[in-house]
Structure 1
Amino acid sequence: MSIDELTATISGMYRSLGDRPAFDAHLHPDLTIWESDADQLLSGLAALDELRDRRAADAPGPAPAEVAPEQFRVDAWGDTGLVRYVLRARHGDDRPDVCFRVTDVLRRTDHGWRIVHHHAEAVR
C-alpha cells in the first residue's frame, strides 16, 4: 500500500501548487533540496521560500497552466520511500513544455509521508 500512498502524496502536492501552505504540508520542515537553478544545496523551508521568491521575480511570463508528475517509479522500505518521476509544466500559450527529472526521498511521519530530500534537474 505504501507505493500508492507515495504516488498520491506527490500527485497531491502538485495539485496544491500555488497554495504554499497546502504544498508545504507535503514537505518536512528540515528538507534538503537540489535544484537546477540553485548553485548550492538548500536546507529548510526558508531557503525554499527564498528560491521561490527569486523565481517569481525573474519569471519571464505567466506561470504554467498545469504542472503534473508522470512516469512514476516508486520504491518503499518501511517508513522510507523513494519516488522518481518526470515533472511536466505545460503552458497555455505556444511555449513548449518544460520537463524536470525529479527524485524525492520521503519519510512516513505522524502526519503522513513528507519529503525529506528533493532533487530536480531541468531536462534540456
Structure 2
Amino acid sequence: MTCSVLPDSALVRSGDPSVAAEAWAVVGEMYRAYLAGERAAIDACLEPDATVWDSVAGPLLAGRADLDRLREQRPPAGTGPVETALTAYDPVVDLFGGHALLRYWLAVDFAPGADGVALTPELSRNTALLRRAGDGRWRIVHLHEDVRDAGGTRVDTGV
C-alpha cells in the first residue's frame, strides 16, 4: 500500500496540497513497511520519541523503547488472522508551520481463515501529527489509532 498521492477524497483544509501529499506519503510508507515486516522502515517514519495510542495497547506508548516492548509482546506470526492489506483513505489534512495534522480512516483486510471462511475487515479512525525535521523529512510525532469495527472474525454467511 502506498499513499504517495493524495486521493480525490482528500480534504486539505489549510496549506499547499503538494506539501500535504509529502506528509501523507509518510503514512503510506509506514503501512507498507508494516505489511512487509520492515521494522527499520517503520521506525524511519517515526520520531524516536513519538507517542502512540496503539489500537491494542492500553497505555500511551512514549518513545521507541515502549513501542519495541509492545512489538515483542505481540503474538507470533501465524497465530491469528493474517493481515493482507491496509488501506488508508479519506484524509483530512491541516498544515501549520512545520507540522501536518492528518485524520483518516484505515481498513485492515484479512486472509480467509483456515476453514476458508472470509474474515471481517477492521476499521479504525486515526490521527497522525507529523513534524518536518531539520533534514526536510516528515516524521510522525504522535499517532492515535481508534478501532471502530474490530475485524478478523468470521463473516456471517447467513447459512
Q: TM-score, normalised by structure 2?
A: 0.72
Quick check: 2:49–2:62 contact (8 Å CA) kept in 1?
yes
Look up the match of 2:10.
none
Q: More helix by proportion, 1 or 2?
A: 1
Write the distance in 1 (CA, Å) between the matches of 2:69 and 2:87: 23
**What are the ranges of 5 or more consecutive residues in structure 1 without an aligned counterpart?**
none
1:69 pairs with one of 64, 73, 88: 88
Q: More strand by proportion, 1 or 2?
A: 1
State the identity as a percent: 38
State the secondary structure of the residue aligned to 2:119.
coil
Q: Structure 1 residue 36: deviation in Å? A: 3.6
Look up the match of 2:57.
38
Quick check: 2:30–2:45 contact (8 Å CA) kept in 1?
yes
Q: Give 1 or 2 for the bigger CA radius of gyration.
A: 2
Regions of 4+ moved over 3 Å: 57-60
2:141 pairs with one of 110, 116, 119: 116
- Give the partner amino acid of 1:108: R
Quick check: 1:6–1:74 contact (8 Å CA) kept in 2?
no
- Give the partner amino acid of 1:47: D
Aligned residues: 124
**What are the ranges of 5 or more consecutive residues in structure 2 without an aligned counterpart?**
1-17, 113-117, 150-159
- Please tell me the root mean square deviation across aligned C-alpha atoms, in Å: 1.8
- Give the partner amino acid of 2:22: E
